[in-house]
Amino acid sequence: MFVPNTVRAAVLAALSVQALAQEPTPPVPHAPEVPVVATTPLQPAATPTPAVAAPVAVPRPFADMVRGAAHLPGFLSLYQKEEKVWIELRPDQFDRPLFMSVNMPNGIGERGIYGSQMGLSQVVVFHRIGNLVQMIAKNVEFGAKGGTPQAMAVQQAYSDSLLAIAPVASGPNPQNKGILVEANILLLGDIPSMTTRLEAAFRMPYAMDARNSSFLTIRADEAMTGFQVNAHFFVPRIAAAPAVVAPNMAAAVPHAPSTLPDPRSMFLGFYYSFMPLPAQAMHSRRADDRIGHFVSTSQDYSDDVTPTTAVHLVERWRLEKQDPEAPLSEPRQPIVYWIDANVPEKYREAVRQGALAWNAAFERIGFKNAIVVKQQTEADRFDTMDARHASIRWFVGTDVSFAIGPSQVDPRSGEILDADIAISDIFARGARRLIGEDALQLLPQQSAAARCDYLQESAAEMGFAMDLLEARGELEMGSPEADAVAQAYVKSVVMHEVGHTLGLRHNFRSSTVYSLKELQDPEFTKKNGLAGSVMDYTPFNLSLKGEKQGEYVPSTLGPYDYWAIEYAYKPVDAAHEKEELAKIAGRSNEPQLAFGTDQDANGFNLDPDVNVFDLGSDPLAYFQRRLTISRELWDRIQNRTLKPGESYEVLRRSFDYGFQQFARTMPVVVKYVGGVTYLRDHAGTGRATFTPVPLPRQRAALQMVTDSLFKADSFKFSPAIISRLGVDHFSERPGRPDVSVGGRVLFLQSAVLDQLMSDGVAVRLLDSQEKLDNRKEALSLDELYLTLQNAVWSELKSGKDISGMRRNLQREHLKRVVAALLRVSAGTPADVRSLQRQNAVQLQRDLRVAMARPVSREAKAHLSESYETLGQALKASMLRAGA
Please determine, for residue 108, whether its predicted confidence score (pLDDT) is greater than 80.
Answer: yes
**Interval 742-752 mean pLDDT:** 93
Counting the structural domains of the chain, the total is 3
Residues 761 and 838 in one domain: yes
Q: What's the alpha-carbon Rg for the chain, to the nearest Å?
A: 31
pLDDT of residue 638: 82
Please determine, for residue 445, whether its predicted confidence score (pLDDT) is greater than 70.
Answer: no
> Residue 452: pLDDT band by 50, 70, 90 thresholds?
low
Residues 639 and 544 in one domain: yes
Closest CA to 664 of 472, 816, 442, 506: 442
Q: Which residues pair with 273 in a beta bridge?
A: 101, 226
How distant, in Å, are the alpha carbons of 162, 384, 510, 526, 592 from that of 530? 49, 32, 9, 8, 12
pLDDT of residue 629: 92
pLDDT of residue 879: 54
Inside any domain, residue 283: no
Please give the Cα distance from 125 to 97 (Å, whole number): 5
Q: Give the pLDDT confidence of 234-264 residue by residue, as tens digits.
A: 999 998 888 777 766 666 788 899 999 999 9
In terms of phi and psi (left: phi > 0; alpha: psi -120 to 50; beta: otherwise), the region of 542 is beta
> Residue 81: pLDDT band by 50, 70, 90 thresholds?
very high
Please name the residues in contact with 167: beta carbons below 8 A apart, sequence gap of 6 or more.
Answer: 53, 54, 55, 56, 59, 131, 132, 133, 181, 182, 185
Please give the Cα distance from 799 to 711 (Å, whole number): 14
pLDDT of residue 202: 94
Please name the residues in contact with 331: beta carbons below 8 A apart, sequence gap of 6 or more.
Answer: 319, 320, 321, 322, 367, 369, 370
Q: Give the pLDDT confidence of 252-309 residue by residue, as tens digits.
A: 788 899 999 999 999 999 999 999 999 999 999 999 999 999 999 999 999 888 889 9
Identity (one letter) of the amino acid at 519? Answer: L
pLDDT of residue 230: 98
Please give the Cα distance from 284 to 311 (Å, whole number): 11
> Residue 878: pLDDT band by 50, 70, 90 thresholds?
low
Q: Give the pLDDT confidence of 786-821 residue by residue, as tens digits.
A: 999 999 999 999 999 999 999 999 999 999 999 999
Please give the Cα distance from 232 to 510 (Å, whole number): 46
Per DSSP, which regions of 13-116 are E strands?
Answer: 70-72, 78-81, 84-89, 98-106
Range list of H helices, 502-576: 516-519, 522-528, 559-569
Please determine, for residue 647, whether its predicted confidence score (pLDDT) is greater than 50.
Answer: yes
Residues 704 and 773 in one domain: no
| CB-based burial label for 454 (10 Å; 0-12, 13-18, 19+) | buried
Inside any domain, residue 732: no
pLDDT of residue 416: 98
Please determine, for residue 436, whether its predicted confidence score (pLDDT) is greater than 50.
Answer: no
How distant, in Å, are the alpha carbons of 51, 119, 528, 583 from that of 311? 44, 24, 35, 20
Residue 480, φ and ψ in degrees, nearest 5? -60, -35
Please name the residues in contact with 332: beta carbons below 8 A apart, sequence gap of 6 or more.
Answer: 320, 321, 322
Please name the residues in contact with 71: beta carbons below 8 A apart, sequence gap of 6 or more.
Answer: 77, 78, 79
Residues 43 and 168 in one domain: yes
Closest CA to 712 of 641, 803, 839: 803
Q: Contact 680/758 with Cβ under 8 angstroms?
A: no
Residues 708 and 785 in one domain: no
**Interval 428-438 mean pLDDT:** 37
How distant, in Å, are the alpha carbons of 97, 335, 460, 628, 881 from that of 625? 56, 41, 18, 5, 44
Please give the Cα distance from 530 to 545 (Å, whole number): 20
Residue 118, φ and ψ in degrees, nearest 5? -75, 140
pLDDT of residue 838: 95
> Residue 733: pLDDT band by 50, 70, 90 thresholds?
low
Please determine, for residue 749, whether its predicted confidence score (pLDDT) is greater than 80.
Answer: yes
Please determine, for residue 140, whether its predicted confidence score (pLDDT) is greater than 70.
Answer: yes
Residues 357 and 443 in one domain: yes
Please determine, for residue 437, whether its predicted confidence score (pLDDT) is greater than 50.
Answer: no
Q: Contact 432/463 with Cβ under 8 angstroms?
A: yes
Closest CA to 463 of 492, 481, 491, 489: 489
Q: Give the pLDDT confidence of 174-203 residue by residue, as tens digits.
A: 999 999 999 999 999 999 999 999 999 999
How distant, in Å, are the alpha carbons of 291, 452, 534, 595 from that of 287? 8, 21, 20, 15
Please give the Cα distance from 669 to 677 (Å, whole number): 14
Residues 766 and 709 in one domain: no
Please determine, for residue 225, whether its predicted confidence score (pLDDT) is greater than 50.
Answer: yes
Please give the Cα distance from 777 to 692 (Å, whole number): 10
**Interval 551-580 mean pLDDT:** 96
CB atoms < 10 A from the CB of 31, how many?
A: 9
Widest Cα–Cα separation across the chain: 104
Please give the Cα distance from 788 to 562 (Å, whole number): 45
As a residue count, the chain comes to 883
Please determine, for residue 657, whether its predicted confidence score (pLDDT) is greater than 60.
Answer: yes
Inside any domain, residue 327: no
The boundaries of the domain holding residue 91 are: 5-237+252-276
Inside any domain, residue 752: no
pLDDT of residue 667: 85
State in Å, rounded, how far the first CA of the chain is from the last one: 69
Rounded to 10 degrees, what is the CA torsion of 109, 111, 116, 117? Answer: -170
Please determine, for residue 866, whether its predicted confidence score (pLDDT) is greater than 60.
Answer: yes
Please give the Cα distance from 674 to 701 (Å, whole number): 10
Q: What DSSP designation does 92 have? A: G
Please give the Cα distance from 741 to 746 (Å, whole number): 9
pTM more than 0.85 = yes
pLDDT of residue 605: 58
Closest CA to 561 of 581, 531, 583, 602: 531
Q: Give the pLDDT confidence of 333-371 residue by residue, as tens digits.
A: 999 999 999 999 999 999 999 999 999 999 999 999 999
Q: Give the pLDDT confidence of 590-644 residue by residue, as tens digits.
A: 999 999 998 888 765 578 999 988 999 999 999 999 999 999 988 888 888 888 8
pLDDT of residue 773: 84
CB atoms < 10 A from the CB of 542, how many?
A: 21
What is the pLDDT of the chain when averaged over all its residues?
87
Inside any domain, residue 301: no
| CB-based burial label for 558 (10 Å; 0-12, 13-18, 19+) | buried
Please name the residues in contact with 736: beta carbons below 8 A apart, sequence gap of 6 or more.
Answer: 437
Inside any domain, residue 749: no
pLDDT of residue 453: 57
Residues 770 and 827 in one domain: yes
Identity (one letter) of the amino acid at 360? Answer: A
3-state secondary structure of 609: coil
Residues 453 and 541 in one domain: yes
Please determine, for residue 656, whether its predicted confidence score (pLDDT) is greater than 90.
Answer: no
Closest CA to 807 of 849, 758, 736, 857: 857
Residues 629 and 681 in one domain: yes
Please determine, for residue 157, whether its predicted confidence score (pLDDT) is greater than 70.
Answer: yes
Identity (one letter) of the amino acid at 624? Answer: Q
How distant, in Å, are the alpha carbons of 226, 369, 527 from that of 550? 48, 30, 13
Residues 683 and 777 in one domain: no
> Residue 520: pLDDT band by 50, 70, 90 thresholds?
very high
pLDDT of residue 117: 95
Q: Give the pLDDT confidence of 756-769 residue by residue, as tens digits.
A: 999 999 999 999 88
Closest CA to 801 of 882, 860, 718, 864: 860
pLDDT of residue 426: 62
Residues 761 and 705 in one domain: no
Please give the Cα distance from 665 to 611 (Å, whole number): 10
Inside any domain, residue 736: no
Inside any domain, residue 287: no
pLDDT of residue 486: 86
Listed ranges 7-16, 224-233, 691-700, 718-727; the one with the highest mean pLDDT? 224-233
